[in-house]
Amino acid sequence: MIEDYKKILDEGARKAPFTLKFFKWVKKNKPKDLDVIVSQLHAEVFEEIDCLKCANCCASLGPRVSDRDIDKIATHLRIKPSTVSEKYLKIDEDNDFVFSSMPCPFLTADNYCHIYPSRPKACAEYPHTDRRRFIQLLDLTNKNAQTCPAVCLIIDKLANHYKYKTT
């Protein structure tokens, strides 16, 4: 991850207590335009953040891999689904398949995803800041701010939008 993104994460960590208060405010006030605004901010932030200069999610988080994901990966790699699970997956404490090692075995040295068109749904949806009913994802978003610089920026911009002071 480039230094600029590390600084954004550090700043996000510094603001974590304020973010918690802001999200409590959001839960209480339930702004009607929340989904529209978050989706706009998501698009705006990902215009400036380049995931290929980051890859922190692929390096540190273990996404859940569903049976459907396994089938897709197997087709992509032209191997059997059982070989995918044997070679690349393990069962975690919640009884879900996750990658057996992190950084993800499909993350390449130049931060590309080797199975990008067939990556797990959880990878494709990360960091979930353009999902509907965002109000249900505030706790997850707070957690993702520890990993994803884009999430930190989206939270900042969201607080600015509602004129909520987070510093």
Contact 166, 155 (CB under 8 A): yes
Q: Which residues lie closer than 8 Å to 116 by C-beta, 6 or more apart?
A: none
Q: Does residue 115 bind ligand SF4 (CB under 6 A)?
A: yes
Q: Does residue 12 bind ligand SF4 (CB under 6 A)?
A: no
Q: Does residue 70 bind ligand SF4 (CB under 6 A)?
A: no
Q: Does residue 57 bind ligand SF4 (CB under 6 A)?
A: yes
Q: Does residue 8 bind ligand SF4 (CB under 6 A)?
A: no
Q: Which residues lie closer than 8 Å to 63 by C-beta, 6 or more apart?
A: 98, 99, 120, 122, 123, 126
Provide the 8-state DSSP code for 54.
T
Among 41, 145, 150, 159, interactor with ligand SF4 by CB under 6 A: 150
Contact 28, 164 (CB under 8 A): no
Among 54, 89, 138, 158, interactor with ligand SF4 by CB under 6 A: 54
> Which spans of this chain sit near ligand SF4 (rule: CB under 6 A)?
49, 51, 54-58, 63, 104, 106-107, 113, 115, 119-120, 123, 126-127, 147-150
